[in-house]
Chain A
Amino acid sequence: MNACDFEELLKIPPYSLNQQDKQEIFNARINYLNEFHKNNCPEYKSIMQNISPELDFIPVRLFKEFDLKSVPDNEIIKTMTSSGTTGQKVSRIFLNRDTALNQQKVMTKIVSDFTGNEKSSRMPMIILDCPSVLKKRELLTARGAGILGFSIFGTKKIYAFDDDMNLNFDEIKKFVDEFAGQKILLFGFTFMIWQYFYKALKNSNSHLDLSNAILIHGGGWKKLANEAVSSEDFKNALNDVCGLKNVHDYYGMVEQTGSIFMQCEHGNLHASIFSDIKILRAQDFSECSFNERGIIQVLSLLPTSYPGHSLLTEDEGEILGVDDCKCGRLGKYFKVHGRLKGAELRGCSDTYERR
């Protein structure tokens, strides 16, 4: 499959191929990308030539250590970074026009499948974050990139927090009243939503009715797991404070922006026709059976400007099934169990990994 056939995929619904039908088209494009990156990214080529047997993924961590790109510098229009805390190394992802455009197209297709507006997927949008996240556009953090990516779904947009992360309750209330009867899109990062939206609403006496809204959130559960908040708790808590019923988590990373894995009404994360997921065993990177936990490998048909089409993550997950989720979406569906436990080594140097 060449670049042209990819355009064909853009014409069909994102969960419309069963795994078997998807596989052939999908693998062909992955193989094409693999060859393309070998020919255009010297670092990627070194990895593929020097490690035997030849790998069919690279560790996502490499984007923190190396600037990996497969296009000349003058074609790069945007550099995205992961949002690491101070002192941590961050990933640097280089986008050319094509990749950035495809990311946007695919994201639109995937998200529209959940927001329910096939033709016009745009709606009023409340961004559950503060405006300052987007200050430096040329160097986007994962948080900024997520917001920018989802902003294409917004007609009129407001930010829920000021730059000190205080909830703009009155503004939101006015916004909700203005668009009463219309579906409103809420977007934000899981922990921010919990910390600054849910907690603020819970501690105030005023009521907000978001029963007709849809919330899409991402960014992982690490911080909430520390507070012992599960995905169910999260949904129930939000339902309590603002009547929100339609809540979708997504699994994605800055290294594969666009081809995100959305959570369906039944709580399962889904691979679309633009992405796939494999769960690998630590002992030999063989594929796990269904319901067997392992290391998550993510594949995406989008990255052409950097070798990010097949990545070994540092997350743990399990495949729950294929083609038969009750929501009707075809392809694999799965669950993420969070980050892999850090390596604990015996020995006489202080090498216990802190994460």
Chain B
Amino acid sequence: MNGVNLLLGHEKINPLPLKTYDDEIINFLNDFSRELMKIKTWPEIVALGFFCRKGNLEKLRANYPEYKSRLGRGLCFHIAPSNIAVNFAFSYIFGLLSGCANVVRVPSKDFEQVSIILSVLEKILTAYPEIYERTQFIKYPSENNLITQEYSLMSDARLIWGGDETIKKIRSLETKPRCVDISFADRFSVCLIDADAVLKADEDELKRLVQNFYNDTFLIDQNACSSPSVIFWLNNNLNARKKFWSAVNSYALLKFRVQPAVSVNKLARACSDAIKLDIKTSRYEEQNLIYLAEINSLDENLNVYKFNSGYFYEYALKNLDELFNPEIINAKFQTLTYYGVNPENLRELVIKNNLPGFDRITPIGRALDINLIWDGFDIVRTLSRIVNKE
């Protein structure tokens, strides 16, 4: 197509579906995994390789007892996020496991990780012609709507990684009548910590907790949809909070550098909150690494409390019902990370209270782990069709 740079894959893509969770696909991904695991320089590439291990994929397949009655929907068009390196590969893998042929638009930003992953794929694909002819990795300027339009008309499914503006633009284009879209919109995530559990945590346990918390937040500049913005304290206790933040601070000090522009941004945010919302904010230990802002009361606008790079809003809960309230947890809420709380109880509360939000309940440390169930969608079941015998 004019203006499209085909980075890898067949010139003329074959849109015919493959079998969902086919052994051939799993073998291909396992080969892919083996090669990726050799690349030690990028932790996110290792994580990708880890996901593609045969053992893991077979475990995932076990959640789909009906998989032999399923086929991919056909051609799936993936619009990968522009500034995160490896999600395009996960997106491709999800499409493949579903049994789709895949056209993947890679990030517009030049990431070294993208070229590494593509060169590994190129090597492996030669042994899998069926998959090769159903694969295209492409690049074109994201503002070129004509190209997006052409691919959309060819597609039986589209995976659109947000933000809201991108989604709005892409959803306005014409598609086949039966085309299925999964859109990952801008979301908002929070964290729930039981203060009693923090008080009880011994040194090793605290260290693990803090490392995990760091990985959910600072590691990605607290700038992913699944990174928590607000920390809710259950059984509020100031000593527990002090113990927690002091440990986070010591850990992050060694690893995280506050860019000058970020230090100004954080301060400006605190000033703006002070004026507009009358919120009290403290610069932890008089530094610019951690900002802690105390929310005065919960209301339907909770999702305004979102900033980045180590900026945490906090709220002391009277009880869990205060949070699990459909007036507060709207459809914007995605991930709830927790510590010291029984996740089954949390899930029950979401269901019992008919919450429009919270698709994901996961322990602190796994906020950024991408999964086949994402944003409340079962991706494989959405990208495949069931051949029903009545």
Contacts and interface: CB of A to CB of B under 8 A. Distances in A.
B84 interface: yes
A195 B273 CA distance: 41
Contacts of B272: 62, 65
B270 A51 contact: yes
Most chain B CB atoms below 10 A, which of A47, A65, A314, A346: A346
A38 B14 CA distance: 69
A284 interface: yes
Given A284-B288, A314-B264, A346-B84, A51 B259 contact: no
B274 interface: yes
Interface in B245-269: 257-265, 267-268
A61 B161 CA distance: 32
A344 B223 contact: no
A343 B261 contact: yes
Interface residues of B, number: 46
A158 interface: no
Interface stretch (B3-11, B24-32, B279-287): B279-287
Contacts of A55: 267
Given A348-B161, A349-B186, A351-B223, A51 B262 contact: no
B360 to A, nearest CB: 15
Interface string B214-251: 00000111111101000000000000000000000000
Given A50-B281, A66-B275, A348 B87 contact: yes
A181 B222 CA distance: 64
A353 B259 CA distance: 13
B83 A352 contact: yes
Contacts of A316: 260
Contacts of B288: 282-285
A199 to B, nearest CB: 32
A59 to B, nearest CB: 4
A204 interface: no
A341 B259 contact: yes
A116 interface: no
A351 B227 CA distance: 15
Contact of B261 (A43, A49, A58, A342): A342
A350 B169 CA distance: 15
B81 interface: yes
Sort chain A's interface into a size bin: 35 or more
B58 interface: no
Nearest to A57: B267
Contacts of A294: 260
A347 interface: yes
A56 to B, nearest CB: 12
A52 B225 contact: no
Interface string A283-323: 11100000000110000000000000000101010000000
Interface string B160-186: 011100000000000000000000001
Interface of A is mostly: loop
A354 B282 CA distance: 28
Nearest to A59: B268
A204 B77 CA distance: 58
Given A283-B258, A295-B260, A350 B82 contact: yes
B134 to A, nearest CB: 27
A308 to B, nearest CB: 14
Contact of A346 (B221, B258, B264): B221
A283 B287 contact: yes
Nearest to B282: A52
Nearest to A341: B261
B278 interface: yes
A47 B274 contact: yes
A58 B268 CA distance: 8
A343 B282 contact: no
A343 B268 CA distance: 14
Contact of B263 (A66, A285, A344): A285
B309 interface: yes
Contacts of A58: 271
Given A66-B275, A349-B186, A53 B286 contact: yes
Nearest to B85: A346
B209 interface: no
Given A52-B283, A282-B288, 6 more contacts: A50-B274, A51-B282, A283-B263, A283-B289, A349-B163, A350-B163
27 contacts: A43-B275, A47-B274, A50-B279, A59-B271, A62-B271, A62-B272, A66-B275, A282-B260, A283-B287, A314-B261, A314-B264, A341-B261, A343-B262, A345-B262, A346-B219, A347-B83, A347-B221, A348-B83, A348-B87, A348-B161, A348-B225, A349-B162, A350-B82, A350-B163, A351-B83, A351-B223, A353-B261
Interface of A: 43, 46-47, 49-53, 55, 58-59, 61-62, 65-66, 282-285, 294-295, 312, 314, 316, 340-353
